[in-house]
Structure 1
Amino acid sequence: MKLILTQQVSGLGEPGDVIDVRNGYGRNYLVPRGFAIRWTRGAEKEIESIKKARSAREIATVEHAKEVAEQLKAVRVRLRTRTGSGGRLFGAVTAADIAEAVRAAGGPDLDRRRIEIGNPIKTVGDHRVSVRLHTEVTATIDINVSEA
Structure 2
Amino acid sequence: MKVILKVDVKGLGKKEDMVECKDGYARNYLLPRGMAVPATAENLGIMKSKKKAETEKVSRDTEHAKSIADKLSGKTVVIEATAGENGKLFGSITNKDVSDALKQQMNMNVDKKKIIMDDNIKTVGDHKITAKLFTGVDAEFIVSVKVKG
TM-score by length of 2: 0.56
CA distance in 2, matches of 1:74, 1:126: 12
CA distance in 2, matches of 1:104, 1:146: 16
Does residue 141 (structure 1) correspond to residue 141 (structure 2)? The answer is yes
Does residue 64 (structure 1) correspond to residue 64 (structure 2)? The answer is yes
Secondary structure of the residue aligned to 1:85 is coil
Query: Would you say how many aligned residue pairs link Structure 1 and Structure 2?
Result: 92
Q: Percent of aligned positions with the same letter in both sequences?
A: 32
- Where does the alignment leave 5 or more consecutive residues of structure 1 unmatched? 1-17, 19-57
Secondary structure of the residue aligned to 2:67 is helix
CA distance in 1, matches of 2:105, 2:75: 7
Does residue 110 (structure 1) correspond to residue 110 (structure 2)? The answer is yes
RMSD in angstroms over aligned alpha carbons? 2.2
Counterpart residue identity of residue 87, structure 2: G
CA distance in 2, matches of 1:119, 1:98: 13
| Alignment correspondent of 2:98 | 98
CA distance in 1, matches of 2:119, 2:141: 14
CA distance in 2, matches of 1:120, 1:95: 7
| Alignment correspondent of 1:42 | none
Alignment of 1:1-148 (within 5 A): 61-73=61-73, 75-148=75-148
Counterpart residue identity of residue 139, structure 1: A
Shift of 1:107: 3.7
Secondary structure of the residue aligned to 2:66 is helix
Shift of 1:102: 0.9
Shift of 1:108: 1.0
Structure number with greater Rg is 2
TM-score by length of 1: 0.56
Secondary structure of the residue aligned to 1:118 is coil
Counterpart residue identity of residue 97, structure 2: D
Shift of 1:125: 0.3
Taking structure 1 as reference, are residues 83 and 68 closer, same or farther at Cα in structure 2, changes over 3 Å only? same
Shift of 1:136: 1.2
CA distance in 2, matches of 1:77, 1:97: 11
Counterpart residue identity of residue 70, structure 2: E
